[in-house]
Amino acid sequence: MNMLRVMIVDDEPLARSVLREMLSERADIEIAAECANGFEAVKAAADTKPDLLLLDVQMPKLDGFEVLELIGPDIAVIFVTAYDTYAMRAFEVHAVDYLQKPFTPDRLNTALERARRRIGTQGVPGEDLSAAARGPQHYLERIVTRDGAKVHIIPVDKLDYIEAQEDYIALRSEGKTVLKQQTISSIEASLDPARFVRVHRSYVVNIERVARVEPYGKNSRIAILTTGDHLAVSRSGYARLDELLKTGR
């Protein structure tokens, strides 16, 4: 049987130790890396290319869902957590299994066999994971993206606007631009519509940054932001923006 390369990600040393001991009983398992937080996990996944993550959910800095979003859907994942409240979200991001602490070695072995069956078959499409990860009726409070080994965390309160750039979006915040591989439609659906509005096919803007809207040419307008940026505004985008501004934002 082929060796299964597993990466353990948990901020609790005892939890990592328990998993390490359970995995040591199996000759077909190799521990590719152990990580104490999400930042370490993102880097280690790129460096070691494991087959499977044993991933905690609640961790400081980056939670398990944010780690998975940054790593992408190509690595199989088993969520390992003390809480049962994240199970539905875990399967929405195509987790192989969901282990609630404490669990037995037999239960872990069952999950590992499920992972073996998943690995090697055709993976799920490379879809946006953020919608499932945030849960129903919840809007993003921050956006995570990766540039190589570097991870950027942008609180949505500090987001000025988003621009579509082919297969990427450009996130403009505090005078800096960060790219993320995602469609503008999917990020728009993740944001609170009372705070962010699609003013053009290429732009989503934080309405708190809109200073004024001015005519531009015969049938077009531009939004002038408090940052000094100028964004094109379509006819339908202006109707949406105007409605929000009239309701007092």
List of domains in the chain: 4-130 (3.40.50.2300), 139-246 (2.40.50.1020)
Q: Is the pLDDT of residue 249 over 80?
A: no
Q: Is the pLDDT of residue 138 over 80?
A: no
137: confidence class by pLDDT, cuts 50, 70, 90: low
Return the pLDDT at 121: 65
Long-range CB contacts (within 8 A, 24+) of 133-142: 133/65, 133/66, 133/68, 133/69, 133/89, 133/92, 133/93, 134/65, 134/190, 135/88, 135/89, 139/190, 139/191, 139/192, 140/190, 140/191
Closest CA to 13 of 2, 21, 1: 21
Tokens of 117: 């069956």
pLDDT tens, residue by residue, 3-26: 999 999 999 999 999 999 999 999
pTM above 0.85, yes or no: no
